[in-house]
Structure 1
Amino acid sequence: MYRPTPTPRTAPMPARVRRAGRRFGARVATLAPGLALCAAVAGLALAVTLVLPTLSALLTAIVVGVVVRNTVRLPAVLEPGIAFAAKPLLRLGIVLLGLQLVVGDILALGPGMVVVVIAIVVGGITATLLIGRWLGIGATQRLLIACGFSICGAAAVAAVDGVVDADEEEVVTAVALVVIFGTLMIPLVPFVAGLIGLTPVEAGLWAGGSVHEVAQVVAIGGTLGGAALGVAVVVKLARVLMLAPVMAVIGLQRRRALAKAGADAAGSRGGKLPPLVPLFVVGFVVMVAIRSLGVVPPEVVAGAGIAQTVLLAAAMFALGIGVRFSMFRRVGAKPFVLAGASTLVVAGIALGGVMLVG
């Protein structure tokens, strides 16, 4: 009599794997509503950019976030996903930003302009910290503003937060100030450049050296013309490249301060010292190195650029959700004064450098 061969029984899944799978599924379910909202707003911001190319998707997203926060009561179910977008997604976007930088393009600016970029970042941070201390602003808040205004806006604010573990209100305040003052620079830079007789290329160099966000620089360069846009973006990306060494310096100083203060200070991080350089900044540097080797196909670079914009737009919306108008009454006028002074210092150093080198 024919007897079928018995089908081998599948070994039962280990209980540890089943528990991990359930936890992962629960985590995804918790994050999904908020992430879906952030993704929808990022898509809307990109659509607006297609219709109005001079309008930044990042700016659109953060403005939508601010408006939503101050006009609509959001359900609590959205909060975990929004918080996830404000940090991990923002950091992933910064990593992908590295694929937009080619070290050779920056070196092609010439040694004079490279020195100017270093002077902008170092001078801007130093002056902002000194002015902030004179105004009586807390050390963390003035450091967030200094790096955000001197390097690369919200990305730099996020990088500093990864080292010093700032309060949420301080981070949101710094990002909001970057948006406000950087947006004011969009019409002002071309206007002032025309008044003082800068050529379009000189105006582009100045925009790249003085404006806070990459998207804001692109908006200005677009109004000045193709040649100005090219140099503006390269100079701005040179400032972005300063993110890694500045974070290394801040991380080293922070570790020394905590070590000197003793175990009580280190205990605020569960006994751990802060990272010398946040992992996502290391990822950013790795992406810069890979792109500079010339091994990344143009299609991959273009796709990464779109992904980076989507991630950063979602993160900007999430950060905008944290901006309450009542917060500005609470923090007072001092951060606005510091932001204005920092903008003037950075723009002044950049203009002086462009006029000397040019």
Structure 2
Amino acid sequence: MQALNGSNSKKGLAMRPLHHLVSIFPGVALSCAVALGGYGIAYGVQRLTGQTLVDALVWCIVLGTAVNSLFDVPAKMRDGIHFCAKIILDVAIVLLGASISLSQIAGNGFGLIGAVMLVVCCALSCSYLIGRGLGLPHPLALLVACGNSICGNSAIMAAAPVIGADSDDVASSIAFTAVLGIVVVLMLPLAVYFTGMNTLQYGMLAGMTVYAVPQV
């Protein structure tokens, strides 16, 4: 009897990974469908206009928000969605950072690296203080600061679970940084006219002030 119980226990342990995969599959499938839809919209816009006006990640977020708002997402999909929002996103951010080699960083000059670090630190501090001064709650002010100072939506999504921000704070901060990013993109060309910067100087300014690659 004891041997039989031991055998059943081992079988139960062996089935746990399979059960976990089955439980997250519906949510992962929905997340993949939303991601493909967002990239499809971005590709369609790029084909129609010849420009990448809005990053594919933004379309994915907008599409995901629309699906969640317009449809009653089944409870069985929650585990998979949570898995994608936590584990998959964290792994993707790590891989993105790992794709940049030290030689590439050093090749751009350590002075530029120091300038970027200084700008990010100052922008984080100033953005957070301005947000708090305007009455924003701590999580929202911090998310807006991360979005504007680091890398936009990816930074917001990475910081949100760390500080315990809710979905409303995430959506609000993404919308705010998107609008501010558009304003900066429209205003930056004026800097060339009024300051007489060359293309290298303008590129450095754009790279340090505009968070999204397509906008840069």
Asked if Structure 1 and Structure 2 have the same fold, meaning a TM-score greater than 0.5 normalized by the shorter chain, the answer is yes
Which amino acid in structure 2 is aligned with residue 98 of structure 1? G
Whether 1:27 and 2:26 are equivalent positions in the alignment is: no
Q: Residues of 2 paired with 1:66 and 1:168: CA distance?
A: 10
Deviations 1:100-126 (A, max 9, x none): 212222233334322321221111111
For structure 2, the residue ranges without an aligned partner over 5 or more in a row are: none
Q: Which residue of 1 aligns with 2:131?
A: 132
Aligned ranges 1:252-263 → 2 under 5 Å: none
Q: Residues of 2 paired with 1:179 and 1:149: CA distance?
A: 9
Residue 61 of structure 1 deviates from its aligned partner by: 0.9
Residue 73 of structure 1 deviates from its aligned partner by: 3.4
* Partners of 1:106 and 1:114 within 8 A in 2: yes
Q: Residues of 1 paired with 2:197 and 2:25: CA distance?
A: 50
Aligned ranges 1:54-203 → 2 under 5 Å: 54=52, 55-182=54-181, 184-185=182-183, 187-188=185-186, 191-193=189-191, 195-196=193-194, 197-203=196-202
Counterparts in 2 of 1:187 and 1:198: CA distance versus 1, 3 Å: same
* Partners of 1:189 and 1:220 within 8 A in 2: no
Whether 1:220 and 2:181 are equivalent positions in the alignment is: no
Q: Residues of 2 paired with 1:32 and 1:109: CA distance?
A: 43
Q: Which residue of 2 aligns with 1:45?
A: 38
Residue 187 of structure 1 deviates from its aligned partner by: 4.7
* Partners of 2:143 and 2:156 within 8 A in 1: yes
Residue 68 of structure 1 deviates from its aligned partner by: 2.4
* Partners of 2:120 and 2:149 within 8 A in 1: yes
Counterparts in 2 of 1:40 and 1:205: CA distance versus 1, 3 Å: same
Deviations 1:119-142 (A, max 9, x none): 211111111222123223222332
* Partners of 1:129 and 1:143 within 8 A in 2: yes
Q: More relative contact order in 1 or in 2 (CA 8 Å, sep 6+)?
A: 1
Q: Residues of 2 paired with 1:113 and 1:45: CA distance?
A: 34
Residue 162 of structure 1 deviates from its aligned partner by: 4.8
Counterparts in 2 of 1:130 and 1:201: CA distance versus 1, 3 Å: same
* Partners of 1:91 and 1:158 within 8 A in 2: no
The alignment's TM-score, normalised by the length of structure 1, stands at 0.50
Which amino acid in structure 1 is aligned with residue 206 of structure 2? A
* Partners of 2:146 and 2:155 within 8 A in 1: yes
Residue 186 of structure 1 deviates from its aligned partner by: 7.6
Counterparts in 2 of 1:72 and 1:165: CA distance versus 1, 3 Å: closer
For the aligned residues, what is the CA RMSD?
Answer: 3.0
Residue 39 of structure 1 deviates from its aligned partner by: 0.9
SS at match of 1:84: helix
Deviations 1:169-226 (A, max 9, x none): 33343334334433x25852564355445444333322221122xxx32x234xxxxx
Q: Residues of 2 paired with 1:170 and 1:49: CA distance?
A: 25
SS at match of 1:78: helix
Residue 60 of structure 1 deviates from its aligned partner by: 1.8
For structure 1, the residue ranges without an aligned partner over 5 or more in a row are: 1-10, 222-358
Aligned length: 206
* Partners of 1:144 and 1:160 within 8 A in 2: yes
- The alignment-based identity, stated in percent, is 31
Whether 1:18 and 2:16 are equivalent positions in the alignment is: no
SS at match of 1:220: coil
SS at match of 2:215: helix
Which amino acid in structure 2 is aligned with residue 220 of structure 1? Q
SS at match of 2:29: helix
Q: Residues of 1 paired with 2:94 and 2:170: CA distance?
A: 19
Deviations 1:302-329 (A, max 9, x none): xxxxxxxxxxxxxxxxxxxxxxxxxxxx
Aligned ranges 1:242-321 → 2 under 5 Å: none
User: Quick check: which has more Rg, 1 or 2?
Assistant: 1
